[in-house]
Amino acid sequence: MNQIERKYDLYSQNFNRNAYATFAEMRAQDPIYRQIGLDGVTPIWFFTRYEDIDAILRDKRFLRDEALSKNPEDRYQPSPLDELINNHMLYKDGEDHRRLRSLVSQAFTPKRIADLRPRVQAIANELIAALKAKGQMDLVAEFSFPLPTIVILEMLGIPAEDRDKFKVWSNALLAPQMTHESAQEALKLLTDFTNYLRSLFAKRRQEPKDDLITALLQAEEAGDKLSENELFSTMVLLIVAGHETTVNLITNAILALSRNPAQYTQLKANPDLMPQAVEEFLRFDGSVERALNRFAAEDINYKGHQIKRGDPIILILASANHDESKFIQPETLELERQPNPHLGFGKGMHYCLGAPLARLETEIALNTLLAQLPDLRLAIPETDLRWRFLPGFRGLEALPVTWLIQ
């Protein structure tokens, strides 16, 4: 088999259903494997073992910024839209990364996040109160999605009446565009999105508030700390991170519990176990399956593989989290697993800035569901579940559930 062809299916519905079996096969047979990526043209190195992924995430020879990994004459010219949405910390290395991260990090310290607890709990209670008497819902649309999106939009200072627009925009920012038509449609949506942000920025400049948008605008105005493109891109990053991550962790956790009744009973009886259980949900079936692409800054001989300068690399975090050489019985959901050095939030300098927020939201969401919706269970056979086509993320399109009405 020509290595460059696609030996492993990493994109289909069938793959998503059995992703961990595919990863086990890759770890055993091809732990470092080069095959064609989603575009059908570009060869990508896929890494699946914990040891390698952990090492590369901390190795400065592997960059996030593709342009820096190339000779100046080989760099492509980013479009104005790319400049507007990709100029954030997760696309940067070195000093630029540090500067952009430090501007936002004050809003995400453990203390600031802990102060949000009563508000997050209140949102969870309101959502449940509105649907408790129904006896059934789509967990994704009616609970897992609204909870973290309301929280991040409130933190940013987006008016409540505009919330629904962000769902469409966030999806347009992330979903791969496989046809010319869908690319055009996405471009139109992103133009609407940037126009919206522009007018919101203008309002906040005139009338500052105690929100993250105002704080970022003040950083921009204070001098050379944040350019206009970086301001837009930072908003994009926080909106996408707030819309596409915790929602899937909450949902995947409920799916995992429904498949593991003993652990489900254990958790219902011991809500104090939840912080530890959340770590296990991040390991067992977290929401971010792969780190964003890395690019080799130089020619590297990695364990006998000749990685060339500029080569793209994908690190499959979900596979590292099931590596049998790191975790005992990795396919078992062990709520009290100790130690649990999962890579669900990444590692190294791009380690998830939102981790304290995601942990808080997931803990509150699951404890509220378990306490308030008795006997919560799937409403359809598992074989009918469909995964979203969003490579790199593990998220269900819907999770219909039912419970007893008391």
Binding mask 76-105 for ligand HEM (x = CB under 6 A): -------------xx----------x----
Whole-angstrom distance, CA of residue 70 vs CA of residue 192: 33
Q: How many residues bind ligand HEM (CB under 6 A)?
A: 27
What is the nearest approach in angstroms of ligand HEM to the Cβ of residue 282?
Answer: 6
Q: β-strand 305-307 against 300-302: which pairing, if any?
A: antiparallel
Q: Which residue is nearest to ligand HEM (CB)?
A: 354
Cα 324–chain centre separation: 24
Q: What phi and psi, each to the nearest 5 degrees, are found at residue 63?
A: -100, 160
Q: Is 354 helix (H, G, I), strand (E, B) or coil?
A: coil
Identify which range of 222-230, 240-248, 255-263, 386-394 contacts ligand HEM by CB under 6 A. Answer: 240-248
Q: State both tokens at 261.
A: 């009744």
Task: Tell me: does residue 246 bind ligand HEM (CB under 6 A).
Answer: yes
Q: Which is nearer to ligand HEM, 46 or 403 (CB)?
A: 46
Site for ligand HEM (CB under 6 A): which residue of 242, 330, 392, 395?
242
First vs last C-alpha separation in the chain = 59
Closer by beta carbon to ligand HEM, 327 or else 345: 345
- Span 345-364, contacts to ligand HEM by CB under 6 A: 345-346, 350, 352-354, 357-358
**Alpha-carbon gap, residue 313 to 291, rounded angstroms:** 9
Would you count residue 292 as binding ligand HEM (CB under 6 A)?
Answer: yes
Task: Collect all residues with Cβ–Cβ distance below 8 Å to 58 and sequence separation of at least 6.
Answer: 347, 348
Question: Three-state SS for 224?
Answer: coil
How far apart are the C-alpha atoms of 53 and 49, rounded to whole Å?
Answer: 6
**Pairwise CA distance, residues 376 & 396, whole Å:** 17
Is 129:369 a contact under the CB 8 Å cutoff?
no
Q: How far is the CB of 261 from ligand HEM (least distance, A)?
A: 24
Work out whether 120 is an interface residue with ligand HEM (CB under 6 A): no
Nearer to ligand HEM by C-beta: 7 or 158?
A: 158
Residue window 143-172: x/- pattern of binding to ligand HEM, with contact defined by CB under 6 A = -----x---x--------------------
User: According to the binding rule CB under 6 A, does residue 245 interact with ligand HEM?
Assistant: yes
What 122-126 contacts at long range (C-beta under 8 Å, 24+ apart), as own/partner pairs, is: 123/147, 123/150, 123/151, 124/364, 124/365, 124/368, 125/368
Please tell me whether residue 48 binds ligand HEM under the rule CB under 6 A. no
Q: Which is nearer to ligand HEM, 245 or 263 (CB)?
A: 245
300-329: contacts with ligand HEM (CB under 6 A): 317
Please give the residue ranges that form the binding site for ligand HEM (CB under 6 A): 89-90, 101, 148, 152, 237-238, 241-242, 245-246, 249, 286-288, 291-292, 317, 344-346, 350, 352-354, 357-358
